[in-house]
Amino acid sequence: MAVPRTLPRLVSPAEIYEGLDRYVIGQARAKKAVAIAAYNHLKRVRARAMGTKLLARKSNVLLIGPTGCGKTHIARTLAHLLDVPFVVADATEYTEAGYYGKDVEVMIGELFLAADTEVAATERGIVFIDEIDKIARRSHGAVTGAGSRDIGGEGVQQALLKLLEGRQIFVPTNVTQHWSKHDFVPIDTTDILFLCAGTFSDLHLYSGGTRVLGFGGGTAGKRGPRITEKDLLRYGMLSEFLGRLPVQVQLSALTDEEMLDILVKPPDSLLKEYAELLRLDGVAIRFEPSGLREVVALAKRRDTGARGMRAVLEEVLSDTLFRGPELAGQTVVVDAAFVRAQAEKSGA
């Protein structure tokens, strides 16, 4: 048996969690679940490389949570931590085979490219499938009037089943050539880890209509009721599909405290980013706690989770950034008054 040149290093769940923790604020349950799933993934991959096979089922993960709460961020961070190839796929871009759009097998082709066309590396990669709620089955239009937006959804779920479970897929070895001239190489997806994510933001419309789930920005900070498998089925996810995503984690909307931490704490935080940009102009910037709270308050009005903070900061600092060179040598103090004044000016 060919011994692979490189085995991914076995990193403990605690180490993976710690790595995630530096960049992802809050969402402890999701970070823990992902750390365990990633660890099992590494074990499985190493076992196979040594010629054995684990009995344990693959722990593909489903992340459910409101927009901008860190689902994609967790997956991306994980990819940086682990020494395995990684791709992000958008479920809405895929269609059933034979329809106009991408075949789900294309995501394995993309993983193959991310793995520098190395088969063994591809077979231990991670595929993150975003917007998974957008491929819910919508058979007869209106539960609510909002239905029937994606007729192909069910077919895409069906097509994904075999990938999630483990199948041999033939991917083109040379994407620059014309399709018909490709050479194909078989990739076994058995050990590829799939992380799926979705907001399921209108889930309450499909869950009997009586409960209102605590999603959507207005309720940020409150922990919504648990979403059950039954809710997801009613929403239009196939039970076979959910069955292949045994680890299901619900993320919560970020609290104000967490939003503040996101501004300040991660090594690549927004504040550090802007401070660095201005430092290049010789401008110092000081963020007062009152100013940061105001940024959070403005961002929350946008209902886009942490994503809104970049837009708010961009507007609040646009004058400063524009005048960077002429402000050289000065210190800009960002307090509540500054944030309010600048936001008003830019119509935020």
Tell me if 77 contacts ligand ATP by CB under 6 A: no
Q: Kindly give the residue spans of alpha helices, DSSP state H, lying in the chain.
A: 13-23, 28-49, 71-81, 105-114, 119-122, 153-165, 229-235, 239-243, 256-264, 270-279, 289-301, 307-316, 318-322, 336-345
Q: Give the shortest CB-195-to-ligand ATP separation in angstroms.
A: 11
Q: Which listed option, Mg ion, ligand ATP, none, makes contact with residue 68 (CB within 5 to 8 Å by class)?
A: ligand ATP
Q: Which listed option, ligand ATP, Mg ion, none, makes contact with residue 262 (CB within 5 to 8 Å by class)?
A: ligand ATP
Q: Which residue is nearest to ligand ATP (CB)?
A: 70
Tell me if 308 contacts ligand ATP by CB under 6 A: no
Measured from the CB atom, is 70 or 155 closer to ligand ATP?
A: 70
The identity of residue 240, as a single letter, is E
Measured between alpha carbons, how far is 119 from 132 in angstroms, rounded to an integer?
Answer: 26
Task: With CB under 6 A as the rule, give the number of residues binding ligand ATP.
Answer: 19
Answer whether 259's CB lies under 8 Å from 300's CB: yes
Of the ranges 7-15, 69-77, 107-115, 240-248, which one interacts with ligand ATP (CB under 6 A)? 69-77
Q: In 10 A of CB 285, how many CB atoms?
A: 19
Strands 193-198 and 61-64, sheet pairing: parallel
Measured between alpha carbons, how far is 4 from 46 in angstroms, rounded to an integer?
Answer: 10
Of the ranges 18-26, 225-233, 236-244, 313-321, which one interacts with ligand ATP (CB under 6 A)? 18-26
Measured between alpha carbons, how far is 102 from 96 in angstroms, rounded to an integer?
Answer: 8
Q: In 10 A of CB 67, how many CB atoms?
A: 17
E-strand ranges in 210-255 read 247-250
Q: Give the shortest CB-73-to-Mg ion separation in angstroms.
A: 8
Q: Give the shortest CB-252-to-ligand ATP separation in angstroms.
A: 10
Q: Which listed option, ligand ATP, Mg ion, none, makes contact with residue 199 (CB within 5 to 8 Å by class)?
A: ligand ATP
Tell me if 227 contacts ligand ATP by CB under 6 A: no
Q: Give the shortest CB-106-to-Mg ion separation in angstroms.
A: 19
Tell me if 300 contacts ligand ATP by CB under 6 A: no
Measured from the CB atom, is 8 or 216 closer to ligand ATP?
A: 216
Q: Give the shortest CB-23-to-ligand ATP separation in angstroms.
A: 6
Measured from the CB atom, is 71 or 124 closer to ligand ATP?
A: 71
Measured between alpha carbons, how far is 345 from 322 in angstroms, rounded to an integer?
Answer: 14
Q: Which of 73, 137, 204, 244 binds ligand ATP (CB under 6 A)?
A: 73
The identity of residue 23, as a single letter, is Y
The identity of residue 262, as a single letter, is I
> Under rule CB under 6 A, which residues in 133-192 are in contact with ligand ATP?
none
List residues binding Mg ion (CB under 5 A): 71-72, 130
Tell me if 67 contacts ligand ATP by CB under 6 A: yes
8-state DSSP, 177: S
Measured between alpha carbons, how far is 220 from 250 in angstroms, rounded to an integer?
Answer: 14
Q: In 10 A of CB 56, how many CB atoms?
A: 10
Q: Which residues bind ligand ATP (CB under 6 A)?
A: 24-27, 65, 67-73, 130, 199, 262, 266, 305-307
